[in-house]
């Protein structure tokens, strides 16, 4: 973990205060934090609440908190109390950007929505992550799975008649990315106008953007897109093959030149010279008999040999990896795409950095995911509270304090 100054990063000097949970809102803050912003995560205490609920999720949610909350500071406040809300307002007064991703109406009830803040803080940029942008559906509660089902993604991923959500939180993560992109655009515009604005990003519209290529496919062809497992591929060889010892590997041969190289590499001269297979489109039409023949032929080779042949000939291929195996991936480790972090319980592990470099450098981990309320004293005393009052506020207790 790098604890050096972040002054070389583009959003150094920008303060972000986030009222977020789950994945979408934290993803937005993560991206701004990795780019150098100071991101302060306000977590709830009191009334039976004990921080961001994702700290304690099991199963498929166990990775949410450690993945999306690095490079952030944690402050705990009870926003249901006047004292906790006042502390939040003091903190917002120091912020360039506020992010939230709660149900519609939640922030308004707290008096912390954009409408309540914009006149008091005209330079503030306020990013709301919602299920739906304003319109007939905006009152609905959404989840990634909900919008995948209603937005066509589950239909495209599953087999016909068997819709299937994608295997990761695609809309939450990408929706957070669009929220961060909106914040960046608003910061750039504030440089010109001196004024902040509200930015909105939403799960449903994000999902529709992801599926838009298939909507446009219909507009162009007049034919509905088929689910991916049942589609007529644009490429003749573009499949997962089961090879020797039951191993699986994805192979792609997507041009006429690549077809000739593939046939020569695997002693398939008869197929290379078959006039029925002279072009990619001809091979697509021949898939019904061609693919079974190739499956049988390739089954005599193990996946390592096939991978070696494909790589040496510049042909696309991929082993079928499980997510946990990527922690030991040679490329990710040697290229610097993985970095060490400490989990809130003290264990050491590696995390995945943003998939970009600036000036040849990955964006580093400066702070591991914070312990609950780890930075409360630091942040609250900087707002003018005494250490005693800051501790009380961070525990959901608010004793009267003259001059606080």
Tally of domains within the chain: 2
Residues 131 and 245 in one domain: no
Q: Are residues 97 and 184 in the same domain?
A: yes
The residue among 299, 323, 347 that closes a domain is: 323
Task: Give the DSSP letter of residue 168.
Answer: S
Tell me, yes or no, whether 268 lies in a domain: yes
Give the residue among 185, 87, 133 at the shortest CA–CA distance from 398: 87
* 334 occurs within a structural domain: yes
| pTM of the shown model | 0.93
Long-range CB contacts (< 8 A, 24+ apart) of 106-113? 107/19, 110/79, 110/85, 111/85, 112/19, 112/79, 112/85, 112/88
Same domain, 142 and 31: yes
Is there a domain that residue 399 lies in? no
pLDDT of residue 400: 56
- The answer on pLDDT for 399 being more than 70 is no
pLDDT of residue 210: 98
Domain boundary (323, 352, 385) is at: 323
Using alpha carbons, select from 220, 184, 130, 135 the residue that is nearest to residue 9.
Answer: 184
Same domain membership, residue 184 and residue 285: no
**Res. 233 pLDDT band, cuts 50 70 90:** confident
Q: 3-state SS of the chain: helix, strand, coil percent to 5? A: 45, 15, 40
Residue 24 within a domain: yes
Which of 323, 344, 359 terminates a domain? The answer is 323
398: pLDDT confidence band, cut at 50, 70 and 90? Answer: low
Tell me if 358 is assigned to some domain. yes
Q: CA distances (Å), 44 to each of 48, 64, 79, 271, 371, in order?
A: 9, 17, 7, 66, 13
Same domain, 27 and 126: yes
pLDDT for residue 298:
98
Q: Identify the pLDDT of residue 403.
A: 41
Helices (H), 197-354: 203-221, 256-265, 269-272, 280-285, 287-298, 303-312, 330-335
Q: Has residue 222 been placed in a domain? A: no
Q: Identify the domain containing residue 305 by its residue range.
A: 233-323
pLDDT digits (tens, 9 = 90+) for 275-293: 999 999 999 999 999 999 9
Q: Are residues 318 and 335 in the same domain?
A: no
Percent of the chain with pLDDT over 70: 97
Residue 246's domain is classified under what CATH number?
Answer: 3.30.1540.10
The answer on 46 and 163 residing in a single domain is: yes
Whether residues 300 and 363 fall in one domain = no
Look at residue 2 and tell me whether its pLDDT is greater than 60: no
Q: Is the pLDDT of residue 41 over 50?
A: yes
pLDDT for 126: 98
59 and 185 belong to one structural domain: yes
The answer to whether residue 225 scores a pLDDT higher than 70 is yes
pLDDT digits (tens, 9 = 90+) for 301-360: 999 999 999 999 999 999 999 999 999 999 999 999 999 999 999 999 999 999 999 999
Q: Is residue 218, in this structure, part of any structural domain at all?
A: no
Q: Are 5 and 106 in contact (CB under 8 A)?
A: no
Report the distance separating Cα 36 and Cα 363, nearest Å: 9
Residues 245 and 317 in one domain: yes
Return the pLDDT at 404: 43
Q: Are residues 46 and 167 in the same domain?
A: yes
pLDDT tier, 230 (very low <50, low <70, confident <90, very high otherwise): confident
Quick: pLDDT tens for 116-155: 999 999 999 999 999 999 999 999 999 999 999 999 999 9
Residues 110, 246, single domain; the answer is no
Q: What is the pLDDT of residue 6?
A: 74
Q: Residue 3: inside a domain, yes or no?
A: no
Residue percentage of the chain with pLDDT more than 90: 93
The predicted structure's pLDDT at residue 402: 37
CATH number at residue 381: 3.40.50.10540
Handedness of CA 128, 130, 133, 138 (dihedral sign): negative
């Amino acid at each position: 973990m790098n604890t050096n100054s972040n002054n070389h990063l583009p959003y150094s000097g920008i303060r972000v205060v986030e009222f977020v949970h789950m994945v979408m809102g934290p993803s937005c803050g993560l991206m701004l934090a990795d780019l150098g912003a100071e991101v302060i995560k306000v977590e709830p205490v009191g009334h039976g609440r004990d921080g961001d609920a994702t700290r304690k999720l099991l199963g498929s949610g166990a990775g949410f908190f450690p993945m999306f909350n690095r490079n952030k500071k944690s402050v705990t406040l009870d926003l249901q109390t006047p004292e906790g809300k006042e502390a939040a307002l003091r903190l917002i007064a120091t912020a360039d950007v506020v992010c939230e991703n709660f149900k519609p109406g939640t922030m308004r009830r707290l008096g912390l929505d954009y409408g309540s803040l914009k006149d008091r803080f005209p330079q503030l940029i306020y990013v709301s992550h919602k299920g739906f942008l304003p319109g007939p559906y905006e009152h609905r509660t959404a989840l990634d799975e909900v919008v995948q089902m209603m937005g066509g993604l589950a239909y495209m991923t599953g087999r016909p008649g068997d819709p299937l959500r994608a295997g990761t939180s695609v809309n939450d993560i990408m929706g957070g990315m669009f929220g961060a992109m909106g914040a960046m655009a608003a910061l750039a515009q504030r440089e010109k106008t001196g004024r902040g604005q509200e930015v909105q990003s939403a799960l449903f519209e994000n999902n529709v953007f992801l599926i838009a290529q298939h909507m446009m496919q219909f507009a162009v062809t007049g034919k509905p897109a088929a689910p991916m497992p049942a589609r007529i591929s644009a490429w003749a060889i573009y499949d997962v093959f089961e090879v020797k010892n039951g191993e699986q590997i994805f192979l792609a041969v997507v041009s006429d030149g690549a077809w000739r190289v593939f046939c020569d590499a695997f002693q398939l001269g008869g197929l290379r010279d078959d006039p029925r297979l002279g072009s990619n489109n001809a091979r697509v039409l021949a898939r019904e008999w061609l693919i079974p023949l190739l499956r049988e032929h390739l089954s005599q080779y193990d996946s390592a040999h096939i991978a070696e042949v494909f790589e040496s000939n510049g042909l696309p291929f991929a082993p079928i990896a499980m997510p946990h195996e990527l922690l030991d991936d040679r490329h990710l480790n040697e290229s610097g795409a993985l970095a060490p972090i400490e989990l809130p319980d003290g264990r050491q592990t590696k995390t995945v950095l943003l998939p970009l470099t600036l000036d040849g450098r990955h964006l580093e981990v400066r702070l591991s995911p914070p312990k609950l309320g780890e930075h409360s004293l630091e942040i609250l005393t900087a707002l003018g509270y005494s250490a005693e009052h800051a501790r009380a506020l961070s525990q959901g207790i608010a004793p009267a304090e003259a001059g606080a």
